[in-house]
Amino acid sequence: MKTRTIGFIGGGNMATSLMSGLIASGHSPQQIWVSDAAPATLQAHRDNLNVNASTDNLKIVQEVDVVVLAVKPQILREVALQIAPLVKQKDSLVVSIAAGISQTSLALWLGGDTAIVRCMPNTPALVLTGATALHANANVNEEQKDLAENILRAVGISLWVEHEQELDAVTAVSGSGPAYFFLMMEAMEKTAIEMGLNEHTARLLVQQTALGAAKIALESAESPTQLRERVTSPGGTTQKAIETFQQNGFSELVSKALLAARDRSIEMSKQLGAD
Ligand SMILES: NC(=O)C1=CN([C@@H]2O[C@H](COP(=O)(O)OP(=O)(O)OC[C@H]3O[C@@H](n4cnc5c(N)ncnc54)[C@H](OP(=O)(O)O)[C@@H]3O)[C@@H](O)[C@H]2O)C=CC1
Ligand SMILES: O=C(O)[C@@H]1CCC=N1
């Protein structure tokens, strides 16, 4: 497939992760465009990533084959309405990464004929270890599906979900998920320091343990339960820790947190979208 130009509208956390990942995986910075409200942000992207940048969202749509909507959900309507006439004129493929904004809303704002891929990536895209789920509307052809998938696959794994509603669960699991692991790391690091380890030692041990656990989980055929049991010697230290987690409602708490994230995604589609 011919290399396509990609434009990001909104140059914040997630666009930075995706642009950096695309470049690290071999995509030419010259084929990437980004717009943002803040000129300083754009200058940083020019300096650090060598991409093309403009404060004018319409310039981005004009220049590229694929438009990635990477602004906050709260301003997506305004941006979509602004670019809609040009998207229609150019017949652009639009990829939205916004949480909680449905394809119905996007189609209403951008025009019913627009080819729209809604997806949910996550910030590990920055280190080419992202996880993205995608869903295409009926206007997206096979070539456009490949194109959207190739962009996200450049920065990690990507998979298609059959029903758009699944993206609310995906948001709760992998979209927000990195933050849950960071929260666990924060708490472990804090307690490690309280137990007398210095900050450097505490951070390094927690980081390497998280990496090791993720790696073994990915490479092993065993389930997380089996892998956990391998660490847990009967009557030993891990057993004490796991019992403490479980007696204090760890699984229920994780379940509550993920359901709250999922429900917030659904709520956002009603508050901020046209659903
Ligand atoms: N962060 C994450 O882990 C993930 C985020 N997402 C989704 O990605 C999207 C972006 O999130 P994130 O990167 O965290 O948000 P950020 O706030 O970091 O990035 C959004 C950027 O858009 C800029 N902006 C504001 N108004 C405009 C405008 N009219 N035109 C162009 N740019 C504008 C903002 O500038 P300023 O700050 O000056 O307003 C900001 O730099 C959201 O919709 C979110 O739901 C999806 C998956 C994971
Ligand atoms: O917190 C959020 O709303 C976004 C979506 C997933 C991760 N960050």
Assess whether 38 and 100 both reside in one domain.
Answer: yes
Q: Is 176 in the pocket of ligand 2 (CB under 6 A)?
A: yes
203 in a structural domain: yes
For position 272, what pLDDT does the model report?
A: 87
Overall pTM surpassing 0.90 (yes/no): yes
Q: What range defines the domain where residue 45 resides?
A: 6-170
CA of 138 to the centre of ligand 1 (A): 26
SS3 content of the chain, % helix, strand, coil (to 5): 60, 15, 25
Atom of ligand 2 at shortest range from CA of 268: 3
Assess whether 221 and 158 both reside in one domain.
Answer: no
**144, 170, 196: which is the final residue of a domain?**
170
Atom of ligand 1 at shortest range from CA of 178: 3
CA 97-111-137 angle, 5° bins: 50
**Cα gap 247→171, rounded to integer Å:** 28
Structural domain count of the chain: 2
261 in a structural domain: yes
Q: Is 132 in the pocket of ligand 1 (CB under 6 A)?
A: no
Assess whether 21 and 150 both reside in one domain.
Answer: yes
Ligand 2, atom 8: nearest CA belongs to which residue? 176
Nearest ligand (C-alpha, residue 173): 2
Q: Is 7 in the pocket of ligand 1 (CB under 6 A)?
A: no
Assess whether 149 and 209 both reside in one domain.
Answer: no
Q: Is 99 in the pocket of ligand 2 (CB under 6 A)?
A: yes
In the sheet with 52-54, reading across from the earlier edge strand, the strands are: 52-54, 32-35, 6-9, 66-69, 93-96, 115-120, 130-136, 156-160
**Cα gap 172→170, rounded to integer Å:** 5
100 in a structural domain: yes
221 in a structural domain: yes
Q: Does the structure's ipTM exceed the value 0.85?
A: yes
For position 2, what pLDDT does the model report?
A: 58
Candidate of 17, 74, 176 to mutate for ligand 2, largest count of ligand atoms within 8 Å of Cβ: 176
Atom of ligand 1 at shortest range from CA of 17: 13
Assess whether 83 and 122 both reside in one domain.
Answer: yes
> SS3 for 140?
coil
Atom of ligand 1 at shortest range from CA of 171: 47
Question: Looking at the DSSP assignment, which residues form a beta bridge with residue 6?
Answer: 32, 66
Nearest ligand (C-alpha, residue 59): 1
CATH number of the domain within which 227 lies: 1.10.3730.10
CA of 184 to the centre of ligand 2 (A): 18
36 in a structural domain: yes
User: Mind listing the pLDDT tens digit of every residue in the chain (275 residues)?
Assistant: 456 899 999 999 999 999 998 999 899 999 999 999 999 999 999 999 999 999 999 999 999 999 999 999 999 999 999 999 999 999 999 999 999 999 999 999 999 999 999 999 999 998 999 999 999 999 999 999 999 999 999 899 999 999 999 999 999 999 999 999 999 999 999 999 999 999 999 999 999 999 999 999 999 999 999 999 999 999 999 999 999 999 999 999 999 999 999 999 999 998 888 77
For position 3, what pLDDT does the model report?
A: 67
Assess whether 201 and 78 both reside in one domain.
Answer: no
Assess whether 184 and 252 both reside in one domain.
Answer: yes
CATH number of the domain within which 119 lies: 3.40.50.720
For position 25, what pLDDT does the model report?
A: 87
271 in a structural domain: no
Assess whether 158 and 225 both reside in one domain.
Answer: no
Assess whether 160 and 196 both reside in one domain.
Answer: no
Assess whether 209 and 233 both reside in one domain.
Answer: yes
Q: Are the beta carbons of 93 and 65 closer than 8 angstroms?
A: yes
